[in-house]
């Protein structure tokens, strides 16, 4: 849900799962997310990807899209080294849960 993203297609915008993910996406401070690090379920979604569209692909089990993003580095599991940086910086993220994953994206200018 990063700033200045293209609006979703009309078809996607009408999808019930997409609408649910939009409603459940919100801002959260890193210190509240860091507890999820040990589970290995924190996934960083890099800009300019749309967080909610990525979450939708996770929810719909779109393995091809997820694999392409992982391979290209557009999404990645959060590692301890990055977490240590964020512990010091205390950034804020957009976040949405697609169990067992917590997908996060830095609020622009904050991480």
In tens, the pLDDT along 3-37 reads: 444 456 788 888 999 999 999 999 999 999 988 89
Residue 90 has pLDDT above 80, yes or no: yes
Residue 84 has pLDDT above 50, yes or no: yes
Distance of CA 58 to the CA centre of its chain: 10
For the chain, the average pLDDT equals 91
Model pTM?
0.88
Please give the full DSSP string across the chain, using - where no structure is assigned: --TTPPPPPHHHHH-HHHHHHHHH-EEEEHHHHGGGGGGT-EEEE-TTS-HHHHHHHHHTT-HHHHHHHHHHTSEEEPPHHHHHHHHHH--EEEEEEETTEEEEEEPTT--
Mean pLDDT for 56-66 is 96
């Amino acid at each position: 849900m990063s700033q200045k993203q293209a609006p979703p297609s009309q078809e996607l915008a009408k999808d019930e799962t997409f609408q649910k993910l939009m409603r459940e996406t919100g801002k959260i401070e890193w210190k509240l997310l860091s507890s999820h690090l040990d589970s290995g379920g924190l996934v960083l979604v890099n800009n300019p990807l749309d967080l909610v569209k990525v979450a939708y692909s996770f929810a719909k089990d779109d393995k091809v899209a997820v694999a392409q993003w992982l391979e290209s580095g557009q999404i990645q599991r959060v590692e301890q080294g990055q977490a240590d940086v964020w512990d010091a910086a205390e950034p804020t993220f957009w976040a949405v849960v697609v169990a067992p994953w917590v997908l996060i994206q830095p609020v622009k200018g904050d991480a």
